[in-house]
């Protein structure tokens, strides 16, 4: 059995001498794991298409133990255009959040759309404080882990309610926070996420492009 869809490469690990096992968040099937054979060979035609953060069309064969990536077509290489280490790490942060917080084979097109839209915002050098807060709130909400209505602090409830309910352009118009306020919100959201996944996030927190440990 085969299936065709599109997805973002959110994780990968080496396998054998020349293969990689890819984790892909797809539009039609949720998170899937597939073996990409030979992609680490220098002459592989697929190798450049399956980098972390790439948005691809994929053709996958169902396997007994592991699915097999048979074809891939690159739509957008988010990490390559205007590359910088800071930009790459911001992208990896969103990928890790998506990977850690989603289960395999649970379809959620909203998560796929959210991830692609916010990867585009990173590419446009939007304010990463606002991107990070917005992405985390909306991802938690889409997965059923968060509702701003449950927040008791009135000021925080108002801010997070806007972030949860409004589109990004409206959020930019309505939210104007200090760096310290962003730090508090991100610490709160990251603590919630780490409690849900029962482990620490590996990628760093960011404030205005600076690493926070």
Q: What CATH number did the domain enclosing 7 receive? A: 2.40.50.140
Q: Last residue of some domain: 77, 107, 132?
A: 77
Digit-by-digit pLDDT tens for the chain (213 residues) are: 899 999 999 999 999 999 999 999 999 999 999 999 999 998 898 888 999 999 999 999 998 889 999 999 999 999 776 778 888 999 999 999 999 999 999 999 999 999 999 999 998 888 999 999 999 999 999 999 999 999 999 999 999 999 999 999 999 999 999 999 999 999 999 999 999 999 999 986 554 444 443
- Let me know whether 122 and 206 are in one domain: yes
Residues 133 and 190 both lie in one domain: yes
Q: What is the CATH number of the domain that holds 204?
A: 1.20.1440
Same domain, 98 and 172: yes
Helix locations, 33-125, DSSP H: 85-101, 109-123
Q: How far is CA 101 from CA 30, 44, 50, 162, in A?
A: 12, 31, 21, 22
Sequence-ordered list of residues with C-beta below 8 angstroms from that of 193, at least 6 positions apart, any chain: 97, 100, 101, 136, 140, 201
112 with 164, same domain: the answer is yes
**125 and 205 share a domain?**
yes
Q: Alpha-carbon distance 197 to 186, whole Å?
A: 16
Last residue of a domain, one of 52, 77, 102: 77
Q: Are residues 158 and 107 in the same domain?
A: yes
Both 127 and 47 in one domain: the answer is: no
Same domain as 126, residue 61: no
Is pTM, for the whole model, over 0.75?
A: yes
Q: Are residues 174 and 109 in the same domain?
A: yes
Indicate whether 35 and 122 sit together in one domain. no
User: In this structure, are 115 and 207 located in the same domain?
Assistant: yes
Number of domains the chain contains: 2
**Domain end call among 27, 56, 77:** 77
Domain coverage including residue 170? 85-212
- Are both 122 and 30 inside the same structural domain? no
């Amino acid at each position: 059995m085969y299936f065709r869809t599109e997805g973002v490469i959110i994780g990968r690990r080496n396998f054998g001498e020349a293969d990689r096992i890819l984790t892909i968040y797809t539009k039609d099937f949720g998170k899937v794991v597939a073996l990409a054979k030979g992609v680490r060979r220098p002459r592989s035609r697929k190798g450049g298409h399956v980098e972390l953060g790439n948005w691809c069309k994929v053709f996958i064969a169902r396997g007994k133990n592991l699915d097999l990536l048979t074809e891939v077509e690159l739509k957008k290489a988010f990490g390559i255009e205007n590359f910088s280490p800071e930009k790459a790490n911001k992208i990896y942060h969103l990928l890790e959040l998506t990977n850690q917080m989603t289960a395999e084979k649970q379809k959620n097109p909203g998560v796929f759309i959210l991830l692609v839209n916010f990867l585009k915002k990173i590419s446009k050098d939007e304010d990463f404080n606002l991107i990070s807060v917005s992405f985390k709130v909306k991802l938690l909400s889409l997965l059923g882990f968060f509702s701003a209505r449950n927040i008791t602090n009135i000021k925080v409830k108002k801010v997070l309610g806007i972030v949860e309910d409004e589109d990004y352009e409206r959020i930019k118009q309505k939210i104007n926070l200090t760096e310290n306020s962003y730090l508090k919100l991100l610490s709160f959201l990251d603590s919630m996420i780490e409690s849900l996944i029962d482990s620490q996030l590996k990628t760093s927190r960011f404030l205005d492009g600076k690493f926070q440990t």
